[in-house]
Amino acid sequence: IDELLAEGVSGKRVFVRADLNVPLDGTTITDDGRIRAVVPTVKALADAGARVVVASHLGRPKGAPDPAFSLAPAAARLGELLGAEVAFATDTVGESATATVAGLSDGGVAVIENLRFNAGETSKDDAERGAFADRLAALADVYVGDGFGAVHRKHASVFDLPARLPHAAGYLIATEVGVLKKLTDDVQRPYVVALGGAKVSDKLGVIDHLLEKADRILIGGGMAYTFLKAQGHEVGISLLQEDQVPAVLDYLKRAKERGVEFVLPVDVLVSDEFPDLKTKAPANPTTVAADAIPADEEGLDIGPETRKLYASKLADAGTVFWNGPMGVFEHPDYAEGTKAVAQALVDSPAFTVVGGGDSAAAVRILGFDEKAFGHISTGGGASLEYLEGKTLPGLAALED
């Protein structure tokens, strides 16, 4: 983007593909981290006199307009953060978008409606995606890719549009790639990875890769129960991906061969019902040993002994990568595990990276100071796929 700014963008329509896919409670944004992350790029372009057209997806609407997934709240928040008026187009490539972009003056900013209100955005059919990219291209003279959270998607605005316009990477993408490159090329040891979240299947690729790179892997969240099952323990009605047990056994075996330490919970908080995340009514969980989960109960967070164990395993790290909450942190009775891991990262002198939409939102929602971490990635799937060494369509398109 610096080269683009040096060439001059005054009066040019610059399309910024951002990732404004923020968590919403109705129309209230519960974590605006992804919006704040794109502000430097939008501000630099606007200050240089560009007519900035910001576009993003939000959620997974079905290729047609759906008010529940409108970007209007995100556009309003962007305006507050910029301290400037931000116009909002109520469609993506229709009359409203065309008129809104035409109405921009130099230095003006507009947000167009959710890209996924058009089936062409996510289509698997190259021609359909290309046709939508053509319509997006008509709105701009230049493309800036800055939606790091979406670079692993082969979508029209991420992959096809940059091929149609002069293009550059924004500040957020440059920072994210710089940090993740450090984790792959130049890591300070011990390299400790904490992985949580619901599903083992989402983490297969990254675990595979980390077995070659990491010194220690701590497992929490819903995926821990598949690991406990693989170790021969009963897990009651906890989240379990039975079909992943063979893969997990293979990881445990390979980790042993390679001298990678795999650390599993030694105790967990259990209950016979999932907590009410809306009312946050007290859930009164009990703590049990990880090998003694009652048949009619489910594990919903790591227990106090595991919190201590994981903190000690993180204390001497040179580098930490953390992806995925340790429990159902959205409920206060199950937030302690995620808090303990976040606190261990804060206390650690290591270079710490929080990756993943959920864990990044968790540290902010739980009240941690973002500056206490080395880097909080805006990418969930994107950062995992980067670490897996995959080619990411949105980055490849910008390098081209």
Q: Is 221 a catalytic residue?
A: no
Q: Residue 299 annotated as binding?
A: yes
Angle at 82 between CA 52 and CA 64, to 5 degrees: 55
Nearer to ligand 3PG by C-beta: 32 or 333? Answer: 32
Number of H helices, E strands in the chain: 15, 17
Catalytic residue among 108, 222, 324, 357: 357
Phi, psi of 322 (to 5 degrees): -125, 125
Among 149, 303, 324, 327, binds ligand 3PG (CB under 6 A): 149
CB nearer to ligand 3PG: pick between 153 and 364: 153
Q: Is 209 annotated as a binding residue?
A: no
Enter the tokens of residue 154. 């082969």
Does 180 engage in binding with ligand 3PG (CB under 6 A)?
A: no
In whole angstroms, the minimum distance from the beta carbon of 333 to ligand 3PG comes to 26
Rule CB under 6 A: say whether 19 interacts with ligand 3PG.
yes
Q: Closest distance between ligand 3PG and the C-beta of residue 154, in Å?
A: 11
For residues 196 and 380, which CB has a smaller minimum distance to ligand 3PG in the complex?
Answer: 380
* Beta bridge partners of residue 354, listed in sequence order: 322, 376
Nearest CA among 219, 393, 398 for reference residue 322: 219
Among the listed residues 357, 375, 395, 397, the single contact to ligand 3PG using CB under 6 A: 357
Q: Is 130 a catalytic residue?
A: no
Query: Count residues contacting ligand 3PG (CB under 6 A)?
Result: 9
- List of residues 6+ apart from 14 with CB closer than 8 A: 45, 50, 51, 52, 53, 140, 141, 142, 143, 144
Judge whether 357 is annotated as a binding position: yes
Instruction: Confirm whether 199 is a catalytic residue.
Output: yes
Q: Which long-range contacts (CB under 8 A, 24 or more apart) does 224-232 make?
A: 224/196, 224/264, 224/265, 224/268, 224/299, 224/302, 225/299, 226/200, 227/200, 227/252, 227/262, 227/264, 228/264, 228/265, 228/290, 228/291, 228/293, 231/264
Cβ(306)–Cβ(266) under 8 Å? yes
Site membership for ligand 3PG, residue 221 (CB under 6 A): no
Q: Are 380 and 355 in contact (CB under 8 A)?
A: yes
Is 201 labelled as part of a ligand binding site? no
Residue 215 annotated as binding?
no
User: Does 145 belong to an annotated binding site?
Assistant: no
The verdict on whether residue 359 carries a ligand-binding annotation is: yes
* Contact flag: residue 331 with ligand 3PG (CB under 6 A): no
| Active-site annotation holds for 371 | no
Q: Site map for ligand 3PG, 57-86, x if CB under 6 A?
A: ---x--------------------------
Q: According to CB under 6 A, which one of 17, 153, 203, 307 is a site residue for ligand 3PG? A: 153
d(CA 112, CA 93): 8
Residue nearest to ligand 3PG (CB): 21
Residue 34 CB, nearest approach to ligand 3PG (Å): 8
Helix (H, G, I), strand (E, B) or coil at 270: strand
Which residues share a beta bridge with 299?
Answer: 270
Measured torsion, CA atoms of residues 159, 160, 164, 165, in degrees rounded to the nearest 10:
-30
In the complex, least distance from residue 373 CB atom to ligand 3PG, rounded to whole angstroms: 19
Catalytic residues: 34, 199, 357, 381
Binding site for ligand 3PG (CB under 6 A): 19, 21, 60, 149-150, 153, 357, 380-381
Per the annotation, where are the binding residues for substrate?
19-21, 34, 57-60, 116, 153
